[in-house]
């Protein structure tokens, strides 16, 4: 399948309503993957990821050389959906000098003393660079919406905290993203869409395999109890913030390698679509280079 087609397949068209149940978490059931066994599927996906990472590496070089655009790639998901592994694999195709990762945890006292977008803006990538967000400002309309007590810690002016409040947060996020896009940031937003059954399987693995024990936290199980609230919060947020300048991609995440294949295809394709060329060297600069070459050759 062409990368443009993959991007189209998983993109939430702006203005349409995102419903979780309309989107598979297990794409290995779909054509053209259906006939492959588990091992074949993994191997094929692995090769495909590798090829995309080579394209991504070339695209990143042009991004860096042009120093005009930046790329923000953000990942949101339920626990154990594979964000960390995804970032590790996408990063492995990038030059570390042109790339940065920020992970967002529970906000600090200092962060809570600022507007809700502040702490994320400080980590936005500069021109020529790729910034990866492991969680993002979307937590402000996801975990904070599911747990209203978190909102109480944000020291906001008094007012209703009903639907209108969240609508305003979506508007603020859309406005921020539009500002970034107009200023040269390509924004790619991924929701790693995991089934509740697959999460259970992965949690059980963390509890039974000693080498995976460190990955388990009791908080993960507590959040699982809010599965349906999260689903609703994701549906509302993605519906309201999939925009022409910053669309969402909903990636089936029950098979880690299928998810990585899809993300690697979309990221490499969308950066290439900026149509960057190696920067033109002005004639005066070419003359300087030629003079330097002659001088060095005469030594």
CA distances from 14 to 10, 25, 95 (A): 12, 21, 32
The yes or no reply on residue 105 touching ligand AMP (CB under 6 A) is: yes
Contacts of Mg ion in 121-160 (CB under 5 A) = none
The least CB distance from residue 184 to Mg ion, in Å, is 33
Q: Nearest Cα to 277, choosing from 56, 63, 3, 126?
A: 63
CA–CA gap between residue 186 and residue 171 (Å, rounded): 19
Nearer to ligand AMP, 130 or 233 (CB): 233
The yes or no reply on residue 104 touching ligand AMP (CB under 6 A) is: yes
CA–CA gap between residue 205 and residue 215 (Å, rounded): 10
The yes or no reply on residue 101 touching ligand AMP (CB under 6 A) is: no
The yes or no reply on residue 177 touching ligand AMP (CB under 6 A) is: no
Query: Could you give the string, one character per residue 66-85, with x where binding to Mg ion holds by CB under 5 A and - elsewhere?
Result: -------------x------
Nearer to Mg ion, 123 or 206 (CB): 206
Q: Nearest Cα to 74, choosing from 241, 281, 277?
A: 241
The least CB distance from residue 136 to ligand AMP, in Å, is 8
Which residue's entry shows tokens 């598979």?
24
177 interacts with, out of ligand AMP, Mg ion, none, CB within 5 to 8 A per kind: none
The least CB distance from residue 214 to Mg ion, in Å, is 11
The least CB distance from residue 137 to ligand AMP, in Å, is 8
The least CB distance from residue 198 to Mg ion, in Å, is 15
The least CB distance from residue 17 to Mg ion, in Å, is 29
Measured at the alpha carbon of residue 33, what is the angle toward residues 30 and 35, in degrees to the nearest 5? Answer: 105
The least CB distance from residue 83 to Mg ion, in Å, is 9
What per-residue string of b and e applies to 257-293 under the rule 16 or more CB within 10 Å gives b? Answer: bbbbbbbbbbbbbbbbeeebeeeeeeeeeeeeeeeee
Interface residue with ligand AMP among 7, 144, 246, 250 (CB under 6 A) is: 144
Which residue's entry shows tokens 């975990």?
143
Joined together, the tokens standing for residue 48 give 């495909």
| Part of the chain binding ligand AMP (CB under 6 A), chosen from 55-63, 142-150, 168-176, 243-251 | 142-150
CA–CA gap between residue 49 and residue 27 (Å, rounded): 16
The yes or no reply on residue 74 touching ligand AMP (CB under 6 A) is: no
Provide the CA 94 distance to its chain's centre, in angstroms.
Answer: 15
Interface residue with ligand AMP among 82, 93, 98, 107 (CB under 6 A) is: 107
Contacts of ligand AMP in 218-247 (CB under 6 A) = 219
The yes or no reply on residue 135 touching ligand AMP (CB under 6 A) is: yes
Q: How many CA atoms lie within 13 A of 9 on its CB side?
A: 16
CA–CA gap between residue 1 and residue 289 (Å, rounded): 44
Q: Report the SS3 class of residue 134.
A: strand
254 interacts with, out of ligand AMP, Mg ion, none, CB within 5 to 8 A per kind: none
CA–CA gap between residue 136 and residue 117 (Å, rounded): 9
Joined together, the tokens standing for residue 272 give 């290439």
The least CB distance from residue 78 to Mg ion, in Å, is 10
Binding site for ligand AMP (CB under 6 A): 104-107, 135, 139-140, 143-144, 150, 219
Q: Give contact residues for Mg ion (rule: CB under 5 A).
A: 79
């Amino acid at each position: 399948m062409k990368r443009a087609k993959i991007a189209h397949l998983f993109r939430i068209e702006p203005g349409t309503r995102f419903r979780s149940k309309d989107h598979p978490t297990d794409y290995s059931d779909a054509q053209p993957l259906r006939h492959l066994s588990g091992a074949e599927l993994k191997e094929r996906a692995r090769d495909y990821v590798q090829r995309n990472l080579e394209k991504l590496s070339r695209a990143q070089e042009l991004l860096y050389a042009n120093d005009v655009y930046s790329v923000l790639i953000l990942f949101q998901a339920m626990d154990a959906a594979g964000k960390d592994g995804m970032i590790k694999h996408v990063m492995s195709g990038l030059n570390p000098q042109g790339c940065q990762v920020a992970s967002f945890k529970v906000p600090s006292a200092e962060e809570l003393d600022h507007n809700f977008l502040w702490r994320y803006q400080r980590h936005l990538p500069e021109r020529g660079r790729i910034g990866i967000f492991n969680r993002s400002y979307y937590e402000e309309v996801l975990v904070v919406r599911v747990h209203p007590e978190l909102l109480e810690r944000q020291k906001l002016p008094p007012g209703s905290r009903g639907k209108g409040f969240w609508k305003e947060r979506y508007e603020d996020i859309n406005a921020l993203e539009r500002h970034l896009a107009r200023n040269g940031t390509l924004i790619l937003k991924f929701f790693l869409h995991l089934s509740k059954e697959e999460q259970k399987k992965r949690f059980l693995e963390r509890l039974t395999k000693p080498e995976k024990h460190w990955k388990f936290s009791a908080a993960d199980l507590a959040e699982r109890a809010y599965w349906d609230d999260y689903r609703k919060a994701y549906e509302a947020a993605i519906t309201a913030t999939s925009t022409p300048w910053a669309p969402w991609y909903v990636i089936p995440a029950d098979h880690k390698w299928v998810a990585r294949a899809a993300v690697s295809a979309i990221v490499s394709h969308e950066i290439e679509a900026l149509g960057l060329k190696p920067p033109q060297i002005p004639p005066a600069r070419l003359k300087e280079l030629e003079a330097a070459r002659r001088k060095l050759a005469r030594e």
